[in-house]
Amino acid sequence: MKTKKVTITHIAKAMGLSPVSISRALTGQPGISDDLKQKIVEKAAEMGYIKLKKQVSPRILVLHQKPYEHDNSNFSYMMQGIEQALQKANTDYSIEFLDKENQNKLILPYRLSKGFKFDGVIFIGSFNLDYVALINQNIRSLIFFTGYSPAYDYDSVWFSFLNAGYKQCKYLMDRGHTRIGFIGKRSFYRNKEKLTGITSALEEQGLPVDESLFFEVDELFRSRLSDLITGGLLPTAFICDHDFTAVELMRVLNEHNIKVPEDVSILSSGNTEVSAFSQPPLTTMDLNIEYSCRTVVSTLLQRLAAPEQPSVNIAVLSTLVERESVRGL
């Protein structure tokens, strides 16, 4: 005898509920309590509801806290890359901007506050740890993309600035540079990592680490650089934390009639659009963003499949892009 197919209407009749409530529970829509949803799912399975056997697309929430300020910044490419990777993985996703004020006030993202359910969340950038803990109460599976901190005990994908700093310094040393400076915000964790890579490369070659050549990008930046130029102590090469920092450095050097790369070589990071159009075009590090975005999504999906596995920290290596801002001595 042929078994009659179980439908949402059958489940609704058996439980004394409306078909709309059954549908919402089985598709993960808001408006149904977790307890009732669980009872509906169990009843559907008991009655042999066929759709339960079909794979349901994961629901992913993407949170970022940076406005779209620069069309040529890598942030835009990261967001596009994450969207493309989520689409390719056939996920159901939402993206929200979340400012620091709402974080500090522990205000839930809009969709969470409206009762939407998500299986996982992608944080893009650095987030308040208390806020992350709040989100974790609602969404078990989390992953961070960039903004890495050793305080995070969650999955994370970021860029290995330690490797980048070492690789940049080695590249310069192979071209005869021994007095190598650094310019960037030293309070940023990524720059602490980069400086560790730079100093490690110098020490391996028995070269001194001259802290006076490591500059903060602050109000004293121009005067300190001027003092080095006046004293004839300018390094032969600078490693900059970002392409935009390198462009600013070239502007200041030009004001002192210092030419790049004839007088000073410059190596930066990011491979943003500005790096190719600066004068001269910048030798820089490409962050391999497209690959990193795919890694973020695949790692989160693996976490959804195996939530009890230890957290992982994946550091993606950068690739050197040679242009015209570095010369050999």
**Does residue 326 lie within any of the structural domains?**
no
The verdict on 152 and 165 lying in the same domain is: no
Q: Residue 107 is part of a domain; what is its CATH number?
A: 3.40.50.2300
Residue 276 lies in a domain: yes
Examine residue 1 and state whether it is found in any structural domain, yes or no: no
My answer on whether 265 and 278 are in the same domain is yes
Residues 6+ apart with CB under 8 A from 196: 162, 165
| Number of compact structural domains in the chain | 3
| Full-model pTM | 0.80
225 in a structural domain: yes
Do 119 and 204 lie in one domain? The reply is no
Whichever domain contains 24, its CATH number is 1.10.260
Residue 18 CA to its chain's centroid (Å) = 43
Is the domain of 225 the same as that of 120? Answer: no
Give burial (CB, 10 Å; 0-12/13-18/19+) of 269.
buried
Determine the structural domain holding residue 15 and report its residue range. Answer: 8-53
Predicted local confidence at residue 52, as pLDDT:
47
Q: Rounded distance, CA 46 to CA 6, Å? A: 10
Do 191 and 274 belong to one domain?
yes
Examine the domain organization and report whether 21 and 91 are in the same domain.
no
Cα angle 296-294-145, degrees, rounded to a multiple of 5: 30
Please report the pLDDT score of residue 4 as a whole number.
66
Q: Whole-angstrom Cα distance, residue 216 to residue 184?
A: 5
Looking at the fold, whether 189 and 225 belong to one and the same domain comes out as yes
| Res 299: pLDDT | 95
Question: How far from 324 is each of 179, 263, 280, 282, 328, CA to CA, in Å?
Answer: 19, 13, 6, 6, 11
Q: What are the CA-CA distances from residue 248 to residues 123, 236, 279, 316 (Å)?
A: 30, 17, 12, 27
- Is 2 part of a structural domain of the chain? no
What pLDDT does 220 receive? 85
Contact in structure between 227 and 257 (CB atoms under 8 Å): no
Going residue by residue through the chain, which has 329 residues, state the pLDDT in tens, using 9 for 90 and above: 445 678 888 899 999 998 888 888 887 777 788 788 888 888 888 888 766 444 578 999 999 987 655 445 688 899 999 999 999 998 999 999 998 899 999 999 999 999 999 999 999 988 989 999 999 999 999 999 987 888 888 999 999 999 999 999 999 999 999 999 999 998 888 999 999 999 999 999 999 999 999 988 888 888 989 999 999 999 999 999 999 999 999 999 999 999 999 999 999 999 998 999 999 999 999 999 999 999 999 999 999 988 888 999 999 999 999 999 999 99
Among 321, 27, 295, 13, which Cα is nearest to 158's? 295
CA pair distance 34, 20, nearest whole angstrom: 16
For 143, 184, 234, the CA distances from 137, given in Å and listed in that order, are: 14, 36, 53
